[in-house]
A and B are shown apart, each in its own frame.
Chain A
C-alpha cells in the first residue's frame, strides 16, 4: 500500500507540532524518566570499575546483577542485526560497564558467525575478530570492556537453550561479569515491540528458587526450555538514552511517522503468523491426551496450574491480538486513503485558485 503523501511534509514543518505533546503524554503514561545517565556513566572510570571487579560481589551473590540498562544505539544495533539474519540465528558481543548490580550496555557489535535455525556458536575466527574489533574500538577512544554476548531466537522466544546455558556458564566462570541477551526478531516485528531478554546463569549446584512464568514456546522446543529453565534467571531490561538522543528522537518522529502508516504488519508477518498458527494447532492436538494424564495427577494430589490447554489458549490470545492489531491498522488506512472522498470537488477548488 502506498504511503501517505510526502508533499505534506515540507510545508507542515512550519506548524507548531503537536507531536511533542503526544510523546509527552505517552512518556507520562509509560513512566519514562528523562535524565542524562551518560554524564555519570562516563565519569565512572575504569579504575573505579576495577575496584568492583576485584571485590567481585557477584561471586558471593548469584543474584547480584538485577538490571541491565541498554543504550538506544546498542538496542537498535542488536535488533536490526537480529532481523538481518532472517530465519537464521545471529550472534554478537556487547560492550559496557558494571556498577551497583547493573549492567550498562553502551555498544554492541556483530560477529562474523553463521548460525543455523536453532543454534549459533562462536569459533576461533570469531574470537580473533572480537579481539581485533575491540583493539580498533580502543583506538577511537571506546574503552569499555566486553560485557556480554547477544544472539537471536527467530520466532521461538527469549530464553536460554541447553547450549546457551553452557556457553553462558563458561563465560561467567572465565570472563565474569558477563551477560547473555536474547532477541526474538520475528516476535519483535509481529508484536510491534522489542522482544528481548537478559539472563545470567546460576553457579553449578545452586538450588534456584522455583518460578514459573508464561512463555510461549513452540512444541519442539518445550523440552529444551523446561530442562534448563531453572539454571538461569532473567534481569530487568531498561533502555536509556542521552539528552542528545532524546532531542534527535523527537525530531526523528517528525520525519518517520509516515512509516507507521505505510507499513502493513499483516503482510510483513504472514509467514511467521502461519507458523504460529501451525504450532498452536499442534499444541491443541496434543492437549486432550495430556488432559487425562493430568486428571490422574490431580487424583494423586499434584496440582498443576499451567495445563497444556491453558498455555495453548494464552498463545491463541496472543496470536489473535497481533492479527487484530494488524487488521485494525489496515482498516484505518482503508478509511483514510481509500474512502469515497469528494476528491473531484476538492480538486476543482484548488484548480479554481490556480
Chain B
C-alpha cells in the first residue's frame, strides 16, 4: 500500500465546502472497524456516507457498510448492493443521500484513488473519508481525514486525479448529543443520580474547556507582547474579532425575552412550591384522619379537613372525636 507518490495535493484548492460530521457517522465507522478486526475479514473496509447537502453546507449524518467485488486483482464497488442499500435508507430517511464513501488507512492509496474514480461515476463529487485506525497516544484530533477530488486543470490534469483535503467540524442534533453523552457515561438505569448535579457537571465541563482554550490564547497574546513569541497577524486578528463580538447578544429585545423567560421559570417554581405544600397538607390531613377517624357513615369526610362541615351535623362531630 505504501506508494512513493502522494495522492494528496498539499496546496490544492478545495471547493470550499463547509463539512460537518455527526457523531453517529463516526461511531458507525468505529463499529465497522471493530467488527472487521474481530471477525478477521480479509476484504478492505469500505462504506457509504449518508448525509445532506444544501448549497455549500454538507453534513455527514450516518453511514452504511459497502461490499466490494474482487475483480482479478482490482476490487470494485458492488454497484447493485450500493443501489439496494441506498433505496432501503431512502425509504426510512428520505432526506439523506449518499454523498461519499469511507475507508481506512493513513494516506490515500492507489486503490483509494481508483475507488474514488468509480464512486464519482455513481455520485456527483463524492467525499472520501479516511479513518486512521492507528490513533497515537495523546492525540487531540479525531483520526479522520476528509478529501474530495482535486479539480484537475492544466499540469495537474496530466499528473492524474488527486485528492484535496477538506476541513471539517463536528455537529450534533440535540437528541444525538444526549445519546452520545449517555453512551459516554455508560449505564442508563441509574435513577438515583441527581438531575441537577448531572446538568451542572455538564455545564462545568464545557466551561472548563472554554476556559482552557481562552487561557491558551491569553498566554499567546502575553508571549507576543513580551516579544517571546512570533506575532501571527492572522491569529491576532481573529482574537481581536472575537473580542469585538462580545457581548454576544446585547439587544434590548433579547434582554426582555430572557427576563420574561426567567420570570416564567420562577412562576413555575412558585407553583411547584404551592403544589408541594398542598401535598404536605393533604398528607397531614390523611394522617390526622388515621389518628382521629370519623364514623364510617359520615360521607362528608372528616370534620375539620373539609372546612368545618361537621358543625352542621353534631352527631358526626361527636363520632369524629372519639379517641382510640
Chain A: residues with CB nearer than 8 A to chain B?
1-2, 4-5, 7-9, 11-15, 17-19, 22-23, 26-27, 30-33, 38-39, 42-43, 71-73, 75-77, 79-84, 107, 109-112, 129, 132-133, 136, 139-142, 185, 188-189, 191-194, 196, 236-245, 247-249, 251-261, 263, 266, 268, 277, 284, 291-292, 295-296, 298-300, 307, 309-310, 312-313, 316-317, 319-332, 334, 336-341, 343, 346-347, 349-354
Contact = CB atoms under 8 A, between A and B. Distances in A.
B186 A266 contact: no
Nearest to B278: A309
A328 B199 contact: yes
B186 A76 contact: no
A81 B153 CA distance: 43
- Of the candidates B39, B133, B210, B241, the one having the most CB atoms from chain A within 10 angstroms of its own CB is B210
Interface stretch (B4-12, B116-124, B231-239): B231-239
B230 to A, nearest CB: 12
B217 A11 contact: yes
Interface in B161-215: 169-190, 193, 195-196, 198-210, 212-215
Given A1-B248, A7-B242, A8-B242, A254 B189 contact: no
Nearest to B246: A343
B146 interface: no
Which 7 A-B pairs have CB atoms at the shortest separation, nearest pair first?
A12-B213, A83-B175, A72-B183, A42-B38, A8-B213, A32-B186, A255-B170
Contacts of B221: 349-350, 353
A242 B195 contact: no
Main secondary structure of the interface of B (DSSP, over half): helix
B126 to A, nearest CB: 19
Interface residues of B, number: 123
Contacts of A258: 206
A317 B253 CA distance: 31
Nearest to B257: A267
Binding site secondary structure of chain A: helix
A33 B186 contact: yes
A148 B132 CA distance: 33
Contact of A11 (B142, B220, B248, B268): B220
A320 B272 CA distance: 7
A326 B93 CA distance: 31
Nearest to B32: A140
23 contacts: A1-B249, A5-B242, A18-B209, A19-B205, A27-B186, A31-B186, A83-B174, A142-B35, A193-B178, A196-B188, A244-B34, A252-B26, A255-B169, A261-B203, A266-B265, A284-B275, A316-B275, A316-B276, A324-B265, A330-B261, A343-B243, A343-B247, A349-B225
A325 B265 CA distance: 10
A330 B258 contact: yes
